Structure 1
Amino acid sequence: MIRIMGDLILDGRVLLPHLALDCPPGRWTALMGPSGVGKSTLGRIVAGLPVAARLAGTVDVAGPVTLMGQQDQLLPWADALANVTIGARLRGQAPDRARSRALLADLGLAGLETRRPAQLSGGQRQRMALARTLIEDRPVVVLDEPFSALDAATRAQMQDLAARHLAGRTVILITHDPLEAARLCHAAFLLDARGTRPLPLPATPTPRALDDPQVLAAQTALFRSLMPCAA
């Protein structure tokens, strides 16, 4: 469970008033809204990372958190195996190289363990970043637009991989993509200067098929909800 209550404030100005977000355990929750409204800041607050803004309220998170962002932030001089195990090494722990290899293989990167990021495609780099996220084995995961820079086909593949590997985790997905939210999430909230508002999603298992009529209808409804924000 993740619960966020209060106002998000930056330089004395309220970015997000009257926050009331309940993200159920073991489910995916989408945070949507205009750029600059504070979605990524909320994600960093949930992950316990420093931010310029402050939350005048409370945030309750049931368990340790890991965050995967839009930029893969891979170490350019390190190979895939070293990038995936960076967290353990930074903590002074022995990296689980066998599990790292298994994760890379399961994500379609078998045989690429010694490749550096510059030798990989954009989709392969994001798979590597996903493996780095998964190996932390945290019960709560924040995904901050992790697939937005990918082409449509690769994005859909990454969505399916993430849904499969993060099943049963509590996930916050920050996204501008109505289709992504409609496919992957169990709940969604619109964040804007007026506060928070729940958005409708299908009550069917995820990940939902791209051509599922309920997904297409939800995509349209989400897009319409976002239109006033874009203006």
Structure 2
Amino acid sequence: MSAPDRGLRAHVVVPDRGVDVRLEVGPDECVALVGPNGAGKSTVVEALAGLLRTRGGSVVLAGRELTAVPTHRRRVGLVAQRPDLFAHRSVAGNVAFGPRATGASGREARHRSATALAAVGAAGLADRSPATLSGGQAQRVAVARALATDPALLLLDEPTTALDVDARAEVRDALRTARSGRPTLLVTHDPLEAVALADRVVVLQDGRVVEAGTTDAVLRRPRTPFSASFSGLVLVPGTATATGIAPDGGGELASGTHTVPPGRPAVAALHPTAVRVRPDGSGVVRTVTAVEPRDGLVRVRAGDLVADVTVATAAALGLAPGATIGLAVDPDEVSVYDPAGA
């Protein structure tokens, strides 16, 4: 079997939910599936896992058509938000359950369990009861449980959402091991998780793919409002100039990265923390429309521009709705490009 045949090609069609999504995942590739709530991410995961009946479309995995294949015969591993371990089984017993359920002997199942636990750094937990595990430990066991079945496809459905920061880091290490050598689909709301695990990002909205590209391309040069928000960036529409962009709201921003010919539609991507508020009103002049707290800073919205400043700065400048301010951004912090991707 050639390498491309070990990947995933899927067309998920669920009219009742307004979902019509085409996906391809290479044999050793992780694709992050992102989008706002209700975009269709969970529907795609359920369809690929065989938990949801689809109407039309197809799921082809490693050259096998799986559309009519029941869940337990698909060779699909799923790691969800909650580990949902069997309370009456030891950690080793939980991980061995999958191989046993698919016909492995007791000896083989125990071997697979031990191997999978070692792969995610959880060998020392084998004899523990699930009730004694921390959240991060339990999720690593859930990853091992999926690995023990030797899945042809790995589905990661927001696998670290319920964990604290420290636990997320250790589980990401386990997921990095688990995704190696097999097609993996990662549903996440965490850009750091996408950076750590994914080769490509696919953006869903209203049940359709609206943007796709390498992780670096989507995070650095987003083309939709959601992907910009996911990346922590702000998109400023306007017209390209010789040195940057003239925003639709007036003024001009210089850019160290601009390839769009002058006069053509363009967008500028910039991070709110890179925007400086100038008390003398120089720079791009805007009227403050909103001031709101955000992650220990103050987010100042001024039309099409957004600046994150310290509380002390906001107080010193008297920032409030209706105030006229000047905004400046270092050219190296502004990326100008064609929003259509041409």
TM over 0.5: yes
1:16 is aligned to 2:19: yes
Distance 1:8 1:101 in 2: 39
Give 1:221 shift: 4.4
Q: 2:11 aligns with which of 5, 12, 21?
A: 5
Give 1:16 shift: 2.2
Does 21-30 or 100-109 show the bigger shift? 100-109
TM-score scaled by length of structure 1: 0.79
Q: Determine the structure 2 residue equivalent to 1:211.
A: none
Give 1:185 shift: 0.7
Distance 2:179 2:12 in 1: 28
Gaps of 5+ in 2: 1-6, 65-74, 231-342
Q: Determine the structure 2 residue equivalent to 1:32.
A: 34
Distance 1:222 1:82 in 2: 47
Q: Determine the structure 1 residue equivalent to 2:208.
A: 195
Q: For each residue in 1:88-120, what CA deviation from the matched residue of structure 2 results, as whole angstroms up to 9, or x when unmatched?
A: 233353233133223323433233222111100
Gaps of 5+ in 1: 204-213
What root-mean-square deviation, in Å, do the aligned CA atoms of Structure 1 and Structure 2 show?
2.7
Distance 2:205 2:155 in 1: 19
Letter in 1 for 2:104: Q
Q: Determine the structure 2 residue equivalent to 1:210.
A: none
Contact kept, 8 Å, 1:189 with 1:199, in 2: the verdict is yes
Contact kept, 8 Å, 2:91 with 2:126, in 1: the verdict is yes
Q: 1:179 aligns with which of 180, 192, 196?
A: 192
Divergent runs of 4+, >6 A = none
Q: Determine the structure 1 residue equivalent to 2:219.
A: 218
TM-score scaled by length of structure 2: 0.55
Question: What secondary structure does 1:75 align onto?
Answer: coil
CA 1:191 to 1:91, structure 2 compared with 1: closer, same or farther past 3 Å? Answer: same
Distance 2:115 2:197 in 1: 24
Aligned pairs (5 A) from 1:149-160? 149-160=162-173
Aligned pairs (5 A) from 1:73-84? 73-84=84-95
Distance 2:18 2:220 in 1: 26
Q: For each residue in 1:23-42, what CA deviation from the matched residue of structure 2 results, as whole angstroms up to 9, or x when unmatched?
A: 22210011111223321221
Which structure is larger by alpha-carbon Rg, 1 or 2? Answer: 2
Letter in 2 for 1:161: A
Does 167-176 or 63-72 show the bigger shift? 63-72
Aligned pairs (5 A) from 1:1-231? 1-5=7-11, 7-10=13-16, 14-17=17-20, 19-49=21-51, 51=52, 54-62=54-62, 64-95=75-106, 96-193=109-206, 195-202=208-215, 218=219, 221=222, 225-226=226-227
Q: Number of paired residues?
A: 211
Does 99-108 or 176-185 show the bigger shift? 99-108
Give 1:222 shift: 8.9
CA 1:200 to 1:182, structure 2 compared with 1: closer, same or farther past 3 Å? Answer: farther
CA 1:221 to 1:227, structure 2 compared with 1: closer, same or farther past 3 Å? Answer: closer
Higher strand share: 2
Give 1:162 shift: 1.4
